[in-house]
Amino acid sequence: MFTNTISRPQRTLPLDLFAAIENLKKELNAVILAHYYQDPDIQDIADFIGDSLQLARAAAQTNADVIVFAGVHFMAETAKILNPDKLVLLPDLDAGCSLADSCPADQFAAFKAAHPDHLVISYINCSAEIKAMSDIICTSSNAVKIVEQIPQHQQIIFAPDRNLGRYVMQQTGRDMVLWQGSCIVHETFSERKIVELKTTHPQAEAIAHPECETSILRHANYIGSTAALLNYSQHSPSQEFIVATEPGIIHQMQKLAPNKQFIPAPPENNCNCNECPFMRLNTLEKLYLSMKNRTPEITMSEEIRRAALKPMQRMLEMSV
Ligand code: 13P
Ligand code: SF4
């Protein structure tokens, strides 16, 4: 009798994906961590939703055997850096990040060598190789706090986001050498259209992520990470908000404050380019298949992982 010993990856989908994913969670002892920019269905089935810092903390604390990361590659890589012995799955390996891609490791090594006396602070939106070359990692929610803890005489390289870097310089009064990277999503918002919206919705508050350009941030009533924007929108007495970040966050904003109105900040062109094309590669179907087939898995060399862990640990210590 012919027996096929090669197990083929499953491609067929069950009718009730939500129930099937719940069953797989139990079977694998898995936890699903999702970023606020994920599709609403994924946010609804996640065990934990958060911004980059909250997700890194959740990854550092989980007892699960398997981490299913519904986010982009650098976020899943961060979970692996913190959990070398766990299986870390990313539903679509092509879910990258334009900001992380704007800082290639060989070019950054040369940039760092040209500034030998500088401390390297890297935004978490970068590859494990860049983290391994950094002294401290930060996220959009702790960048100001971390830079404020660095002695005044110490020169700093800040990479890879020039917009967050500029914002941190303005908030702290520190001069820093900036790597000229950026996010395609946060550089797409139209200043003209936001000003128009503020005129037609005079009661609305504009809230913005610090990855936006200065021309957008100067119109913001409040600036913060995704988690900070969510928190602000709940507690502010305002009833209307113009939201200058990826509109996936509006799902949680609307859930937590159903009577308030959230207007996504529009891009310059009539496109969907305010949606992160990388984040949106993950779907409920791919999430299910990744758990069923236990792939695609995040891997990296132990040498890079150990080197990348140190600045991650410094960040966690400096942002308690
Ligand atoms: P947060 O730190 O707000 O999660 O930002 C992550 C991100 O990718 C923003 O584009
Ligand atoms: Fe990267 Fe921008 Fe997408 Fe965030 S929104 S994951 S910074 S491309």
CA gap 75, 157 in Å, rounded: 22
Query: Ligand 2 centre from 109 Cα, in Å?
Result: 23
Mean pLDDT of the 237-247 span:
98
Instruction: Give the ligand at the shortest distance from the Cα of 228.
Output: 1
Mean pLDDT of the 291-311 span:
98
Eight-class DSSP state of 8: P
Q: Is the peptide bond before 160 cis (omega within 30 degrees of 0)?
A: yes
Write down the pLDDT at residue 7.
66
Which parts of the chain are beta strand (E)?
30-35, 48-50, 66-70, 87-89, 119-123, 136-138, 156-159, 177-178, 205-208, 222-223, 240-244, 261-264
Pocket test for ligand 2, best of 51, 97, 275 (most atoms within 8 A of CB): 97
Instruction: Give the ligand at the shortest distance from the Cα of 185.
Output: 2
Query: Ligand 1 centre from 291 Cα, in Å?
Result: 25
Give the pLDDT band of residue 141 (cuts 50, 70, 90): very high
Eight-class DSSP state of 48: E
Write down the pLDDT at residue 6.
59
Q: What is the average pLDDT score of the chain?
A: 96
Write down the pLDDT at residue 12.
84
Q: Give yes or no for a contact between 137 and 124, defined as CB atoms under 8 angstroms apart.
A: yes
Q: Give yes or no for a contact between 186 and 211, defined as CB atoms under 8 angstroms apart.
A: yes
The answer to whether the CB of 205 is under 6 A from ligand 1 is no
Write down the pLDDT at residue 142.
97
Q: How many helical (H) and strand (E) elements, i.e. helices and strands, does the chain have?
A: 15, 12
| Other Cβ atoms closer than 10 A to 177 | 16
Helices 52-61 and 73-82 pack at an angle, to 10 degrees, of: 30
Write down the pLDDT at residue 1.
39
The closest-lying atom of ligand 1 relative to the alpha carbon of residue 141 is 2
CA gap 125, 77 in Å, rounded: 10
- DSSP letters, 167-187, are HHHHHH----EEP-B--TTTT
CA gap 108, 104 in Å, rounded: 6
Give the pLDDT band of residue 91 (cuts 50, 70, 90): very high
Query: Ligand 1 centre from 7 Cα, in Å?
Result: 38
CA gap 293, 290 in Å, rounded: 5
Write down the pLDDT at residue 10.
78
- DSSP letters, 69-123, are EES-HHHHHHHHHH-TTSEEE-S-TT---HHHHTS-HHHHHHHHHTSTT-EEEEE
Pocket test for ligand 2, best of 36, 90, 186 (most atoms within 8 A of CB): 186
Q: Is the peptide bond before 296 cis (omega within 30 degrees of 0)?
A: yes
Question: In this predicted model, what pLDDT tens digit does every residue of 183-241 receive, in sequence order?
Answer: 999 999 999 999 999 999 999 999 999 999 999 999 999 999 999 999 999 999 999 99
The answer to whether the CB of 211 is under 6 A from ligand 1 is yes
Pocket test for ligand 2, best of 183, 246, 249 (most atoms within 8 A of CB): 183
Mean pLDDT of the 116-131 span:
98
Question: In this predicted model, what pLDDT tens digit does every residue of 147-181 receive, in sequence order?
Answer: 999 999 999 999 999 999 999 999 999 999 999 99
Mean pLDDT of the 248-272 span:
96
Write down the pLDDT at residue 270.
87
Mean pLDDT of the 263-287 span:
96
Q: Give yes or no for a contact between 55 and 33, defined as CB atoms under 8 angstroms apart.
A: yes
Instruction: Give the ligand at the shortest distance from the Cα of 182.
Output: 2
Instruction: Give the ligand at the shortest distance from the Cα of 138.
Output: 1
CA gap 22, 47 in Å, rounded: 10
Can you give the C-alpha Rg of the chain in angstroms?
Answer: 20
- Taking Cα atoms as reference points, which of 319, 318, 315, 308 lies closest to residue 77? 308
Give the pLDDT band of residue 4 (cuts 50, 70, 90): very low
- Taking Cα atoms as reference points, which of 267, 271, 261, 227 lies closest to residue 244? 267
Mean pLDDT of the 127-145 span:
98
| Other Cβ atoms closer than 10 A to 258 | 7
Query: Ligand 1 centre from 52 Cα, in Å?
Result: 6
